[in-house]
């Protein structure tokens, strides 16, 4: 079941956090589909916003430097939008612990501001919110369905789950056309490489390219869904096309890969660097959810989406990209 690209042609699309990894990748595709794309990004330090991510489409989009917490701005820019992909976020579970009020402000109050603006000024827009596997917390059974218990182990996960409930409330109470997409461990070109607070594949790739040692906490045996950016974007678009309002959808891939296996793929593809195992640092293990593999049967049935990029192929494309453009992502 192919994506109907024509539904986005000449449609007005707002992407918050649009200069970041996922948002910019989504923007490139939508511009190619003929959409009128507006990007909002606060360009906050360390959060992944990078104008180089928009290279090649800068003249074809409208770019606004601004924050989803700015009520007056949001009331203006949502007007007339057909689709709103709300990707803006504080994205580090580590920072959510050290700066809890900032995480609350952006990941909860910021999204309330967006929803209120949509309720007042764009009630007919289709709204897609990008959430995270971190809402599940400790994993009890895999693959993980959308109705798995939600017991987040970090403030980041708690606030993402709270925001999900905002989107469902605004659907139930005010009839807004909202959907939630839970994204596992995305990776690929345009991913930030400045630090290791998130985007772990990008960070390991940087270390390998720099011929450094990658540190693994514990055995590294926890399984993860590593989802290539093209599959993430396709999933967001298919949910926007065919998802049911008010629903939550998992994205993921049927490829069980441990952390240490992922690192081995990176090291082999780069050809430099090495790895070492060390004990878990104090308190870090408390945030470890255990192995996570998503059950994607719901999104497959409802939209026809299915991830198609195996880790080895995705890492190969990622390495090729950063060999050419690394300098735009490390400082």
What are φ and ψ of residue 69, in 5° steps? -80, -5
265 DSSP assignment: H
Flag whether pLDDT at 250 surpasses 80: yes
| CA separation for the pair 138, 250 (Å, rounded) | 16
Q: Angle 176-177-179 (CA atoms, 0-180°, nearest 5)?
A: 120
Mean per-residue pLDDT for 288-303?
92
Paired residues of 55 in beta bridges: none
Per-residue pLDDT, 65? 97
Confidence of residue 283 (pLDDT cuts 50, 70, 90): low
- Please tell me which residue, 4 or 199, carries the higher pLDDT value: 4
pLDDT averaged over the chain?
94
Q: What is the pLDDT of residue 63?
A: 98
Lookup: tokens for 153: 């182990």
Beta pairing, strands 248-250 & 213-217: unpaired
Phi, psi values for residue 91, rounded to 5°: -110, 10
Over residues 320-331, the mean pLDDT reads 92
Bigger pLDDT: 2 vs 238: 238
- As a whole number, mean pLDDT of residues 113-119 equals 98
Quick one: which of 294, 263, 264, 83 has its CA closest to 182?
294
23, 87 contact by CB (below 8 A)? yes
Specify the pLDDT at position 285. 58
Kindly tell me if the per-residue pLDDT of 284 is higher than 80: no
- Which residues face 86 on adjacent strands? 16, 129
Supply the pLDDT for residue 92.
75
Confidence of residue 52 (pLDDT cuts 50, 70, 90): very high
Report CA 232 to chain centroid distance, whole Å.
8
For residue range 306-325, list pLDDT tens digits in order: 999 999 999 999 999 999 99
The pLDDT-based confidence of 286 (bands split at 50, 70, 90) is: low
pLDDT tens per residue across span 71-98: 999 999 999 999 999 999 888 777 777 7
- pLDDT reported for residue 136: 96
User: According to the model, what pLDDT value does residue 289 have?
Assistant: 74
Tell me whether the omega of the peptide bond preceding residue 143 falls within 30 degrees of 0, making it cis. Answer: yes
Name the pLDDT band for 1 (thresholds 50, 70, 90): confident
Note the pTM of the prediction, 2 decimals: 0.96
3-class SS of residue 218: coil
Contacts of 132 (CB under 8 A, 6+ apart): 156, 157, 160, 182, 183, 184
Residue 153: pLDDT over 70: yes
The residue to which tokens 């939600």 are assigned: 150
Question: Does residue 46 carry a pLDDT above 90?
Answer: no
Q: What mean pLDDT comes out for the span 297-303?
A: 97
Domains of the chain: 7-328 (3.40.50.720)
User: What percent of the chain clears pLDDT 70, i.e. is strictly above it?
Assistant: 98
d(CA 190, CA 172): 36
Each residue of 5-37: pLDDT tens digit? 999 999 999 999 999 999 999 999 999 999 999
Q: Confidence band (pLDDT; 50, 70, 90) for 198?
A: confident
* 45 pLDDT higher than 90: no
DSSP secondary structure string, 117-157?
HHHHH-TT-EEEEEEEGGGSBS--SSSBPTTS--B-SSHHH
């Amino acid at each position: 079941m192919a994506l109907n690209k024509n539904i986005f042609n000449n449609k007005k699309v707002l992407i918050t956090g649009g200069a970041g990894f996922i948002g910019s990748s989504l923007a490139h595709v939508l511009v190619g589909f003929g959409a009128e794309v507006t990007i909002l990004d606060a360009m906050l330090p360390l959060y992944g916003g990078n104008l180089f991510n928009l290279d090649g489409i800068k003249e074809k989009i409208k770019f606004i430097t601004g924050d989803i917490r700015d009520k007056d701005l949001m009331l203006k820019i949502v007007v007339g939008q057909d689709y709103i992909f709300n990707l803006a976020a504080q994205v580090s579970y580590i920072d959510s612990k050290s700066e809890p009020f900032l995480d609350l402000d952006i990941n909860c109050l910021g999204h309330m501001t967006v929803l209120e603006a949509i309720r007042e000024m764009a009630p007919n827009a289709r709204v897609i919110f990008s959430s995270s596997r971190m809402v599940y917390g400790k994993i009890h059974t895999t693959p993980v369905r959308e109705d798995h218990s939600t017991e987040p182990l970090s403030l980041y996960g708690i606030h993402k789950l709270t925001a999900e409930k905002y989107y469902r409330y605004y659907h139930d109470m005010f009839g807004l056309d909202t959907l939630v997409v839970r994204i596992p461990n995305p990776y690929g070109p345009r991913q930030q490489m400045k630090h290791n607070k998130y985007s772990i594949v990008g960070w390991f790739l940087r270390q390998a390219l720099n011929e450094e040692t990658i540190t693994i906490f514990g055995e590294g045996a926890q399984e993860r869904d590593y989802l290539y950016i093209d599959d993430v974007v396709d999933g967001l678009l298919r949910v926007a096309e065919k998802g049911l309002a008010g629903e939550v959808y998992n994205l993921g891939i049927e490829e069980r890969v441990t952390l240490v296996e992922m690192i081995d793929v990176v090291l082999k593809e780069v050809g430099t660097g090495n790895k070492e195992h060390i004990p878990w640092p104090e308190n870090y293990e408390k945030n470890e959810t255990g192995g996570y593999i998503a059950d994607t049967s719901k999104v497959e049935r409802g939209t026809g989406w299915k991830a198609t990029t195996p880790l080895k192929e995705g890492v190969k494309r990622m390495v090729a990209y950063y060999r050419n453009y690394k300098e735009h992502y490390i400082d």
